[in-house]
Each structure stands twice: as structure tokens, then as C-alpha cells.
Amino acid sequence: MLVEHARNVLGMADAAHAESMTDGDLIITPLSCSLDGRTIDVDLVGGTLLSSLHGGVKTVTEFTTCNYGLDPARRDIASSGGMRTSGVDGSGEPRAVERDDHPFFVATLYQPQLRSSPSAPHPVWSGFLSSSR
Amino acid sequence: MRVLLVIDLPPAARYHRATVEALGHAAAALGAPLDLRVVASDAADLGEVRDGVEGVVIGPGSPYRREAAVWDVVRTARERGTPLVGT
């Protein structure tokens, strides 16, 4: 979703994901430490949709399977052109983003579906479906 | 509500199952019937995003078979204000 943003909103026509492409401007690169199969603590940014979905909680622990993420040197891509960073890891790298010009546009570098149960649906999915009605 | 899930992982794969189940948990809690349409990236239909669905999910499992189709789906949902989650 950040590649689409970079290409079509920011006008970076050759923005690319290093997992699927070898040329172009590789903005999504292998994480220095793979997150695959791990849990991560995500600090939520106050005032964001994601933060409000979680009821103002400061930090959430999430499961992830991701090996790639935004190049830390390109962090600005996640906070420009209507995109804003809504969750960061311990070193301040974006782990969740959303659009401030859209009713519900949420992207995560973790899988909220892995911590959902019938008795405790994950707020991201509940919020998504609420906004889809 | 009609939701489109774009995912290349097969239905039996853990992350595919978890995605469908999590949407089901949320729908049940809301008391809202969920009409979930699942397509692979190389079968994604932009017409459906424009006219047929109230929400779009980009599922886990990159790289996608047809990445450009995923970008097209994201762009359409972004421009039309269709609720979207990508994980």
C-alpha cells in the first residue's frame, strides 16, 4: 500500500518493493531483523484512527509474519501526501500507517487477524466492518 | 456487508484462514451478515471494487502474483473512499 501511495500520490513512478522487483526505487526493503513468526510491540500514535480503535491504549502487542518494511531512510513516505504513521516500533520505524483524507484506510506490518477470537474480535476488523456499513 | 479479500495464499493456509475467521468474529460481534468475496491478485476485478463492495482487504502473503493489480485495487479504494485494510 505504501508503494501505491509513493507511485500514485507522491509521483515516484518507479517506487518498488524489493521482494518482487530488482530495479526501480526500492522503498520497501528487507527488515534488518525479520519479524516473521514474532510478536512486536507497536506504540500507537495519539490522535490517529488506529489509536482511537484501540481506545487510546498506548502500546499493543501483535503477531507478524513480515520480512519487509519501509526503508528506514525513507520514513517520510509514511507521513506525507495524506499518509500518516499510526504505529511505530521501539526504534521509531513505522509499523502501521493510515490516510487522513479517507474514512478508513489502515495498513499494518503485522497481522491483527492472528490475535482475534470469537470473544475478542480485533478492533481493526471491528472498526473496518463498522465503517463498511 | 460485501467485502472483497484479495489474497493469493490458498484457503487452507494459516494466514488465509486467520483473515477469514477474524472478519467473521468481527461481523458476528456486530450482528452484521458478512458477504465475503475472495479473489487472487491475478483475478481481481476492479469493476467489483467500483460497484460491488463496501470494504476491501488486502491479505497477507506478498509477493503477490500480480502486484500491479493489487496497486489498482488499493488506488480505486483510496480514490473512492472505500474502507480498506492491508496487513
- What tens digit of pLDDT does each residue of A6-41 get? 999 999 999 999 988 888 999 999 887 677 778 999
> Looking at the DSSP assignment, which residues form a beta bridge with residue A105?
B84
Q: How many CB pairs under 8 A join A and B?
A: 119
Q: Hey, is the C-beta of A75 within 8 angstroms of any chain B C-beta?
A: no
All domains in chain B, ordered by first residue: 2-86 (3.40.50.11410)
- What tens digit of pLDDT does each residue of A68-119 get? 999 999 999 999 999 999 999 998 999 999 999 999 999 999 999 999 999 9
Kindly tell me if the per-residue pLDDT of B72 is higher than 90: yes
- What tens digit of pLDDT does each residue of A53-66 get? 999 899 999 999 88
* Subunit contact B63:A17, Cβ cutoff 8 A: yes
- What tens digit of pLDDT does each residue of B2-45 get? 999 999 999 999 999 999 999 999 999 999 999 999 999 999 88
Kindly tell me if the per-residue pLDDT of B66 is higher than 80: yes
* Subunit contact A113:B21, Cβ cutoff 8 A: yes
Residue whose C-alpha is closest to residue A62's, from A33, A92, A42 = A42
Rg (CA), chain A: 15
Any idea what the Cα angle at residue A49 is, between residues A44 and B40, rounded to 5°?
A: 100
pLDDT at A66: 82
Cα–Cα distances in angstroms (integers) from residue A23 to residues A1, A16, A78, A98, A117, in the given order? 18, 8, 21, 27, 41
Would you kindly state where each structural domain of chain A is located, as residue ranges? 2-131
Q: Hey, is the C-beta of A53 within 8 angstroms of any chain B C-beta?
A: no
| Residues whose CB falls within 8 Å of the CB of residue B13, separated by 6 or more in sequence, listed in order | B61
Please state the ipTM of this predicted complex.
0.95
> CATH classification of A2-131 is 3.40.50.880, yes or no?
yes
* Subunit contact B87:A118, Cβ cutoff 8 A: no
Q: Hey, is the C-beta of A29 within 8 angstroms of any chain B C-beta?
A: no
